Structure 1
Amino acid sequence: MRTQNALSRSQKSAETHEMRLSIDRERHAKSRASETFTQRETRLSSQRNRTDVARSCESVEGRQARLESDRERHADSRASETYTQREARLCLQRSRASFSQSIEDDEERETRSRRDRSQHALSRSLETDEQREESRAAARQRYHELLGDASTHLSQERDRIQEIRGTWSDEQRAAQVEQDRLRRNVNQLSTSDEASTVYYIEEQPWLNKEGSGFMYNVAINYAAYGNIGALEEVCAHCQARKWKGEPNGMCCASAISMNKPTCEADTSPIWTLVWSGDCKVCCIM
């Protein structure tokens, strides 16, 4: 049957062949538009199975010939499509890929990734030096086109912003200048920017140490000022070394005037030790 169809189609003219393909496309489009979700999934699953069986049996030469034919067919099709058709095709392709990847589990994802890597490695190992150079040239061209598109977009954005700002009043322009200045100051003080942080630490040294514990400044590197004075004072009661100006009573309780309690009933050992007048006991307490 297939031989007869192939012989019959080989005898047809190009116009008849194109007409038959157009009729087939319309018939397939109507059939797929009326199919349910289950019917569509069944058809796609059967189609994938047939494709996998056919490709598993093909030789390296047959696969290379098929890929070459597919590339030529796709190139001809994409060269003739309009900008709208191209965007619609890419959008549909992204939607299908996103939906397919969203429903696959970890094992299926790993299988797909491994299959993609194998296909890419095999495809690149079979290409000739000319094909490899053409592929690299096409990649470079796409890269430069993307850069050109980005540059064009930025230029258009600058022109649009300049046009908008050209319609501003003096008050709006002054407000924008003030807002830009505040934004620059915030960015310079951002702790995520190491360079700007170091710069502002150097510009704002820790000069006023008196009472600075209640006025913390994030722009000062307090760790760089570890020397906060020498322990020059000595407590007369417990001989603890203190900073100059440190209030009495911080090291021991002997600086406070204490009298023995008048209540003689409380003779617990702890009170006996506290009120014994021993400075060492007071320091421990």
Structure 2
Amino acid sequence: MPRAIQVNLQHSKCATENLDVFLREKDIDIGFIQEPWVRDNEIKGFQNKKNINIFYIKANMGKVEMQKSSIYLATVYMPHEKPASPDEVARFLSTLNKTDKLLMGCVQTPETSSGAVQRRKKERARSQLSKHSSQARAAKIRRIGESSPEHSQRLAEQNQRTSELRARESRLKRSQRLHEQNVRTSDLRERESSVERSQRLAEQSLRTSELRARESRLERSQRLHEQNVRTSGLRERESSVERSQRLAEQSWRTSELRARESRLERSQRLHEQNVRTSDLRQRESSVERSQRLAEQSWRTSELRARESRLERSQRLHEQNVSTSDLRERESSVERSQRLAEQSLRTSELSAQESRLKRSQRLHEQNIRTSQLRERESSVERSQRLAEQSWRTSELRARESRLERSQRLHEQNVSTSDLRERESSVERSQRLAEQSLRTSELRAQESRLKRSQRLHEQNIRTSQLRERESSVERLKRLRAQAERQQLSTNRVRNRILANRNRLAFRYDPQLDYAQQASVLIGVMNKICSNCSAKKWEDEPNATNGVLSTVVITDCKKIN
């Protein structure tokens, strides 16, 4: 007795593959197939066509001629609610003889209830939803028993077919395919449970790790290059709205992952990220490094220009919080290493920059500092100064005598360099501002604070006097004497600058003869009338009294 099966494939590829597996497993002799998978006017999807005969006709019936007899094969599809069979079936049966053999499939009993219609709709929807799972099961059955060469050949043929299809499809078809793929993927993601999701991610990570382990350095470079090209193409085509949406979704996913990871996983992730970053930094050339830094600076500038004042404050606050968290967790060795690397980088940058760039950097830094100082309140200023004083005190307490001497020496060198470069106007402005600040501080301090300041100043001065050598003491005294002499000369010059009625403000401590404007000479002129000694430019006088009347000829008075 021959074994027969009837099925409606609905032009589906995966259903055809499932039927092919079923025919081989159940040893089916005859199959009535409706709506097969047809391509180029030929039935596709059957792997072994040597042991079967395929008849593809557009009608619902056919006749097979054999050597001794003939047999009629008919398939009837009745998707209706009529109580009788279709007229085509009745006409076909009337044409048959009594000796003719007939084999008919798919004779369905009509169902007129609304429940049956709803069941058929649900079955059709369920078959559509299980399309991909059925295809996966059929593919898994075919995979069983294949050798590694067959596996490689199958994958190569599959990749070739996919590449050919991708090359022939238009941009519209590609967009439609990707959209449908995303819809199916989203549908699968929504239906999967947390256990299935974890299992899927674990298998995906395992497959990715295996592929990464097998690929060579050349293949890896080529893969990363193609990935970058695809990513750049997508970034160029996306609009500003799509870009904002992508960045928002990426930020949300990152935040969700960061919230779920433990402290150990976070440390491991950061360590692996640092290792990868160090590896990339070592392999990049100087040109690539300059280009990367320029692009990074450009992106940062673009982000800073777009952010509002509130977003900036929030970013700085989060940055300070994360920095404080890192500072609290780092050990003394890590802190020393960080400061040493930071100092090394700063020294390298300072050595490479020109005088113009340095001036520009300091000018911009001063502008930013001034803006911050203007915006801060009195409470924030007091808190900043207190924290700065605390940090300075902590640094001073930890530094050795050698480090302190080196710091003071470098500070004096930098101060001397600044003093040499400043003009007279800048110097006057600096001294005026310094004097103003000192006056403000002196006016604000109480009597107790003043006594404490003078006491600490005396202690520091005494310590300096004790530590200085005889040569340093002699040099200090000479400099002090020069400063005093300079101060005295400045006072004299200020007094002599106004010479009006100077004789009525005579100061015996002043040497008037040393002034360039004073040209008196010596009293070597003797008056012939009174024998009085006079200066050379002194006018004639009467009885030793100066007069405004100039007497050209002095006569002797009897």
TM-score (norm. length: structure 2): 0.29
1:186–1:10 CA distance, 2 compared to 1 (3 A): closer
Residue 104 and residue 202 in structure 1: after superposition, are their counterparts in 2 closer, same or farther (change >3 A)? Answer: same
Corresponding residue number in structure 1 for 2:320: 117
Name the one with the larger strand percent.
Answer: 2
1:5 to 165, 189, 204: 204
1:191 counterpart SS class: helix
Does 1:194 pair with 2:448? no
What is the match of residue 205 of structure 1? 494
Quote the offset at 1:95 in angstroms.
2.4
**Alpha-carbon separation, structure 1, partners of 2:325 and 2:430:** 46
Pick from 132, 144, 148 the counterpart of residue 351 of structure 2. Answer: 148
Counterpart residue number, 2:295: 92
| Letter matched to residue 101 of structure 1 | R
Structure 2 residue 215 is the aligned partner of structure 1 residue 14: yes
SS at 1:11's partner residue?
helix
Q: Which residue of 2 aligns with 1:35?
A: 238
Which deviations, in whole Å up to 9, do the C-alpha atoms of 1:213-246 show, x marking residues without a partner? xxxxxxxxxxxxxxxxxxxxxxxxxxxxxxxxxx
What is the letter of the counterpart of residue 326 of structure 2?
S
Provide the rounded CA distance (Å) in 1 between the counterparts of 2:344 and 2:230: 39
Deviation, 1:136, is: 2.3
- Give the C-alpha shift of residue 116 in structure 1: 0.8
CA distance in 2, matches of 1:101, 1:185: 34
Name the aligned partner's letter for residue 209 of structure 2. S
Determine which of 111, 125, 132 is the counterpart of 2:335: 132
Sort the Cα spacing of 1:114 and 1:77 in 2 relative to 1 into closer, same or farther, 3 A. same
RMSD: 3.2
Residues in 1 aligned to 2:422 and 2:327: alpha-carbon distance in whole angstroms: 52
Q: CA deviation at 1:19?
A: 3.8
| Distance in 1 (alpha carbons) for counterparts of 2:307 and 2:231 | 28
- Which amino acid in the other structure matches residue 111 of structure 1? Q
The 10-residue stretch of structure 1 (200-209 or 69-78) with the greater mean CA deviation from structure 2: 200-209
- Residues 202 and 69 from structure 1, CA distance in 2 versus in 1: closer, same or farther, beyond 3 angstroms? farther
Gaps of 5+ in 1: 155-183, 212-285
Deviation by residue 1:143-187 (Cα, 9 ceiling, x = unmatched): 33234335xx46xxxxxxxxxxxxxxxxxxxxxxxxxxxxx9972
Cα offset, 1:202, TM superposition: 4.1
1:49-71 deviation per Cα after TM superposition (whole angstroms, max 9, x unaligned): 11111112221111111111121
TM-score by length of 1: 0.53
CA distance in structure 2 between the partners assigned to 1:62 and 1:145 by the alignment: 35
> What SS does the aligned partner of 2:429 have?
coil
* Rounded Cα–Cα distance in structure 1 between residues aligned with 2:275 and 2:223: 21
Aligned counterpart, 1:179 = none
Secondary structure of 1:32's aligned partner: helix
3-state DSSP of counterpart to 1:84: helix
Within 2, Cα distance between the matches of 1:131 and 1:110? 29
